[in-house]
Amino acid sequence: MASKIFRWAALPALCLSTPAAAGEPYYFHQPGIDRETYAADVTVCRELAGMGTVGSTPMPYSANIYAAMANAFLSGFLRGAEERRHQAAIERTCMADKGYARVAIAKTELKRIRELPGDEARMDALFTLAAAEEKMGKDLAE
C-alpha cells in the first residue's frame, strides 16, 4: 500500500518539477496507456534516475583559504546542476525505452495543472495528457 501511495505522490513531482530543471516543460505521452502501467513506468524511471550520479571534479590546491572556500562553493552549485541534468537524461532515456514520447507542454497548461487543488487532481490532469490519443504539443528530442 505504501508503495502505491509513493508512486502516485511522486508522479506530480516528476512530471512538473523535473522539466523546470531541464529547460522547456514537457510530459511523457503514450496513447491509450492505462493508469497503473503509467504510474509504474514513471516510478521505475524516477527511481532509476535517482541512482545516477556525476563523478566529482578534483579541486586544485590553494593555500588561500578564501579561494578554496569560493572554489568549493562554486563547484557545489555546478555539480548540483550537472547532477539534475544527468538524472533528467536518465529519466528521459528510460521513458523512451518504455515507448513514451517526450512532448512539450504549454506554459499556460502547466500553470493550470500546478494550480489544481490537491495531488489527485494534478495526477488526473497529467494522466489525461499522457494517455490522450492526440499529443498536446510538439515532440521533443530525447
With a cut of 50, say whether residue 31 has pLDDT above it: yes
* Beta strands 101-104 and 26-29, pairing class: antiparallel
Amino acid letter at 75? S
Mean pLDDT computed over every residue of the chain:
78
Cell, residue 66: 578564501
Q: Encode pLDDT of 75-113 as tens digits.
A: 877 777 888 888 888 888 899 999 999 988 888 888 888
Q: Encode pLDDT of 37-53 as tens digits.
A: 988 898 899 888 887 67
With a cut of 50, say whether residue 17 has pLDDT above it: no
Q: How confident is the model at residue 94, as a pLDDT?
A: 92
Helices (DSSP H) in the chain: which residue ranges? 2-22, 35-51, 65-97, 107-114, 119-131
Q: How confident is the model at residue 9, as a pLDDT?
A: 43
- As a whole number of angstroms, the distance between CA 73 and CA 77 comes to 7
What DSSP state is assigned to residue 79? H
Cell, residue 49: 534516475
What DSSP state is assigned to residue 139? B
Q: Which residues contact 45 (CB under 8 A, 6 or more apart)?
A: 90, 91, 94, 95, 98
Question: Bridge partners of 139?
Answer: 103
Backbone angles phi, psi at 104, to 5 degrees: -65, 140
